[in-house]
Amino acid sequence: MKRKILAFVSACAVVLSACSSNGAADKEITETASEAVMSNIAEEMVMPDISDNFLQELYIAKKRGKALVKRVEDTAATDGSALLIYNRIESWNGAEYDCEKFRGNDINVKGSFRSAGASVRVSIQYDINGNTSYNSICTVKTNNDSYSEVNGDFTVPDNAEKIIVYIESDTLDDIYTDNFSIRTIGEYKYIAEVGDIDFADTSAYPSLKELYGDYFRMGIAISPTIAANKDYSAFVCRQFNSVTMENNFKPEAVLDHNKTVSDVEKYMESPALSFEHLRTELDFARDNGMTVRGHTLVWHSQTPEWLFYKNYAVGDELADRELMLKRMENYIKSVMEWSNENYPGLISSWDVVNEAADDNNKMRESLWYKTIGEDYIEQAFAFARKYAPEGTKLFYNDYNSYMPSKQNCILGFLKPVAEQGNLDGVGMQSHINTEIGVGTFMSALEKYHSELGVEIQITELDVAVKKGDGWEEKQGDYYGSFLSALVDEQKKGVPVTSVTVWGLTDSMSWKAADHPLLMNDDLTPKPAFEAVVKAAE
Ligand code: XIL
């Protein structure tokens, strides 16, 4: 992989240059830098250090999305001053910091937050070769009276661009921020710009879809960038025969806020939708003979809060059950109809409901649950059955679904759906790690099949591992035994019909810090890919 690392400067040298006005420091830098144009040390090579306790009117936080930010006096804050983030229309709206200078560095992010919402999160966004990834760095439980502090570390990839660290939360409540900082851990390296990736020739790699062809489909989560890039797409076409849109089929991508609120009466029972952004990925799937997993229709996350308010105005009156049932029905109907008219037969399965169980093994008290009531899952599946083209498989999808208590909760609410004939499969997301027993996982998988009489798909596979001696081999071993066990299940007669990995390369993963995927950035195989190949052979 070629990267234009213009200068590599040790932190101490740069700090010296920053503090010194005489020539001595510059001289020292010239001696410590490796491959640089060092005649004058550019200002941008100074180790970045973002830290703000919001005492000044001038701050470097920028608004994100429609949110607004301002400095306010706040007796609960240190020094009586804080940053207020308000007017948040979508949960990702917040405050953001340009972090381009942290490219390739280990960073620590720290802050104190208060909010009426249950938690606040600090996340990072960046592009790798044009593909945008979002990762969470740290999350803290919050209350509205006092500040809760949190910090977290993250390694920003060498080839990341448009790097932004931002403050967000799952609700639309205001967020007060105090003592916020982003700093490098250890030695600072300055990478001026990212060069083109020198991709490996992947045409001769063994093909996963062929190797597993007798057992199940092999799938991958994609983005428009993957579909449009010739190296990525060539690899994906050769390796996989199923794709899932990593983000673009989610309600927040499909619901059109501006159009809906432009005529609330007109859109009262059927919010406006937009689909054109899906074409790159869907054309790619259709033109290359792949099938698509539709992901997802009814979910608490990545679904804008305004959808649940009577007049689409957050904070006003919530919509009642009758109205929300209409909106749910019309949403499902419109998505199914658009897909079927524009891409007939392409979508083989839909994740009708996603993540309805919470982490305490109860039904999640989402806004779907609050507005419609406990039977919202049954209702969603009934609508999906009504409008899905014949043969489309309807799935329930969740994470940690192998855990016994969570599984019991899920089985509890899925049984009526199965009895009504509206459930065809359970999607086990499988955001797992190398410590999770493969046997435990497979027993849970068998139980879904035996108790509900449905097929199983592994829908979002990624395997986190801690870096350390032999981590790549350890991860490979895990991937290998996981895939072999799935093949064994299939041979035993448990219908495992597809296995989807949640992304292409580690630094493009939503969990980049856990390096959980099969491929390196330049598409050379990780031991994990090799192990998956071997498990089939
Ligand atoms: C993740 C995507 O990978 C990220 O790009 C996005 O920022 C957040 O969502 N469960 C799901 C997936 O069902 O849709 C989520 O995907 C990961 C967890």
State the average pLDDT over residues 330-357. Answer: 98
Q: How confident is the model at residue 60 (pLDDT cuts 50, 70, 90)?
A: confident
- Residue 510 Cβ contacting ligand 1 at under 6 Å: yes
State the average pLDDT over residues 59-88. Answer: 93
- Does residue 75 carry a pLDDT above 60? yes
**pLDDT (tens digit per residue) in 234-276:** 999 999 999 999 999 999 999 999 999 999 999 999 999 999 9
**pLDDT (tens digit per residue) in 378-409:** 999 999 999 999 999 999 999 999 999 999 99
**pLDDT (tens digit per residue) in 507-527:** 999 999 899 999 999 999 999
State the average pLDDT over residues 91-95. Answer: 93
Query: Residue with the nearest Cα to atom 4 of ligand 1?
Result: 510
Cα gap 23→127, rounded to integer Å: 38
- Residue 134 Cβ contacting ligand 1 at under 6 Å: yes
- Residue 247 Cβ contacting ligand 1 at under 6 Å: yes
- Percent of the chain exceeding pLDDT 70 equals 91
Our answer to whether residue 460 is catalytic in this structure is yes
pLDDT of residue 44: 63
The three-point CA angle 189-194-200 to 5° equals 115
Q: Which atom of ligand 1 is nearest to the CA of 399?
A: 10
What mean pLDDT is reported for the chain?
91
- Which residues have a Cβ under 8 Å from the Cβ of 164 and sit 6 or more positions away? 64, 96, 97, 98, 99, 124, 125, 126
State the average pLDDT over residues 103-130. Answer: 96
Measure 388 CA to ligand 1 centroid, in angstroms.
24
**pLDDT (tens digit per residue) in 140-174:** 999 999 999 999 999 999 999 999 999 999 889 99
Q: Which residues pair with 462 in a beta bridge?
A: 431
Tell whether the torsion through CA atoms of 47, 51, 57 and 59 is positive or negative.
positive
Nearest-10 crossing angle of helices 376-387, 404-419: 50
pTM for the full model?
A: 0.86
Question: What DSSP designation does 357 have?
Answer: B
Our answer to whether residue 472 is catalytic in this structure is no
Closest CA to 70 of 62, 304, 278: 62
Q: Which helix (H) or strand (E) holds 427?
A: strand 425-428
Cα gap 104→409, rounded to integer Å: 42
- Residue 299 Cβ contacting ligand 1 at under 6 Å: no
**pLDDT (tens digit per residue) in 16-51:** 333 333 333 333 333 333 333 343 456 667 888 899
Q: How confident is the model at residue 7 (pLDDT cuts 50, 70, 90)?
A: very low
Cα gap 292→240, rounded to integer Å: 11
pLDDT of residue 2: 36
Tell whether the torsion through CA atoms of 313, 316, 321 and 322 is positive or negative.
negative
- Percent of the chain exceeding pLDDT 90 equals 85
Closest CA to 174 of 61, 93, 111, 57: 93
Q: How confident is the model at residue 89 (pLDDT cuts 50, 70, 90)?
A: confident
- Residue 123 Cβ contacting ligand 1 at under 6 Å: no
pLDDT of residue 5: 35
Q: Which atom of ligand 1 is nearest to the CA of 221?
A: 3
